[in-house]
């Protein structure tokens, strides 16, 4: 009998940043797609998320919305998933970062990057150029990645995180956060979107979804979905199901099975590293 070709599969490695950097940069993510030459491309969704991301494709190519992605590009936070198509032999490295770092690292405002993908070749910024070069080398091993962290450390630690009372926002809402900061709710919403790329309502909805993913990744996948939805802060299971389908194009049960087998796609892997901002 003829030997069957191995299926196309994705290998994802998450490299958490040091604790000192995690309020700014949760992690870096290496991605490889393996399979026999000529096999059908791997279809994958980049899920909605609250981060910005610097991505460098070091080998092969990635398609999104019917077009090839640049060799290096920046993305802002996404409030809807994006479908990608990846052929075999692709390798990439991504740096996940808080949107409020974009002005310092790329000269871009977070609120101008929401839902956008920008070719780094169109951005003249010396810090960004050095980071792209560092990420291209980072795929070669831990020593090169440590050089990226070392390069970033003085840059990001010089940036003061914005005062947004995020934990109070999550616990009690916009009114309480605005009152804590001594500003109007309208001003708070404007400032929040300026620094985070998304308005407070959209950000809270996506973070709640990310919390549900975190619970699944942390081993809570054994919980019935009704209990899991309550633990993540949803009013009911139907509410969680709507968000999971909106942000991941999958049902909660499908997502639960994927994460239970350790096959969550790269955008989900980032949610495994909790941020410690405002704690």
φ/ψ of residue 96, rounded to 5: -90, 130
pTM of this structure: 0.84
Q: Is the domain of 179 the same as that of 107?
A: no
Flag whether 85 is in a domain: yes
d(CA 244, CA 205): 11
Cα–chain-centroid distance for residue 2? 41
Q: Is the domain of 136 the same as that of 179?
A: no
Q: What distance, in Å, lies between the first and last C-alpha atoms of the chain?
A: 60
| pLDDT for the residue numbered 139 | 65
Q: Is the domain of 67 the same as that of 120?
A: yes
d(CA 95, CA 14): 10
| pLDDT for the residue numbered 195 | 97
DSSP state of 102: H
- Which range of residues forms the domain containing residue 182? 166-272
pLDDT mean values, one per 10 residues, the chain (279 residues): 55 83 87 72 80 92 86 92 82 92 94 94 91 82 80 91 94 96 97 97 90 68 76 85 85 73 49 36
Flag whether 1 is in a domain: no
Flag whether 141 is in a domain: yes
Number of domains the chain is built from: 2
d(CA 24, CA 101): 7
| pLDDT for the residue numbered 154 | 92
d(CA 125, CA 110): 16
| pLDDT for the residue numbered 188 | 98
| pLDDT for the residue numbered 266 | 44
Domain boundary among 130, 157, 184: 157
Domain boundary among 123, 157, 191: 157
Flag whether 279 is in a domain: no
Flag whether 180 is in a domain: yes
Q: Is the domain of 131 the same as that of 266?
A: no
Flag whether 105 is in a domain: yes
Q: Is the domain of 145 the same as that of 178?
A: no
Flag whether 278 is in a domain: no
Q: Is the domain of 20 the same as that of 65?
A: yes
CATH of the domain at 218: 1.10.10.60
């Amino acid at each position: 009998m003829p030997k069957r070709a191995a299926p196309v599969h994705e290998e994802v490695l998450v490299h958490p940043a040091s604790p000192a950097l995690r309020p700014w940069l949760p992690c870096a993510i290496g991605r490889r797609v393996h399979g026999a030459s000529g096999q059908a491309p791997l279809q994958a969704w980049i899920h909605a998320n609250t981060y910005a991301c610097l991505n460098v494709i070091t080998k092969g190519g990635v398609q999104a919305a019917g077009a090839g992605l640049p060799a290096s590009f920046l993305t802002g936070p996404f409030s809807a998933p994006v479908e990608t198509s990846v052929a075999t032999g692709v390798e990439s490295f991504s740096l996940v970062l808080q949107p409020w770092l974009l002005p310092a690292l790329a000269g871009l405002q977070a609120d101008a990057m929401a839902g956008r993908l920008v070719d780094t070749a169109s951005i003249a910024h010396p810090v960004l150029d050095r980071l792209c070069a560092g990420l291209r080398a980072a795929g070669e091993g831990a020593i090169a990645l440590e050089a990226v962290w070392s390069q970033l450390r003085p840059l990001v630690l010089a940036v003061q995180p914005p005062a947004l009372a995020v934990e109070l926002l999550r616990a009690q809402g916009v009114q309480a956060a605005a009152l804590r900061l001594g500003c109007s709710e309208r001003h708070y919403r404007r400032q929040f979107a300026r620094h985070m790329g998304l308005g407070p309502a959209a950000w809270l909805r996506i973070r709640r979804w990310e919390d549900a993913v975190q619970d699944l990744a942390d081993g809570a996948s054994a919980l019935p979905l009704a209990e899991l939805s309550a633990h993540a802060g949803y009013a009911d299971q139907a509410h969680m199901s709507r968000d999971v389908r909106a942000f991941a194009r999958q049902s909660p049960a499908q997502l639960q099975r994927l994460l239970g087998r350790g096959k969550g796609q790269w955008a989900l892997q980032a949610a495994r590293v909790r941020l410690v901002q405002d704690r």
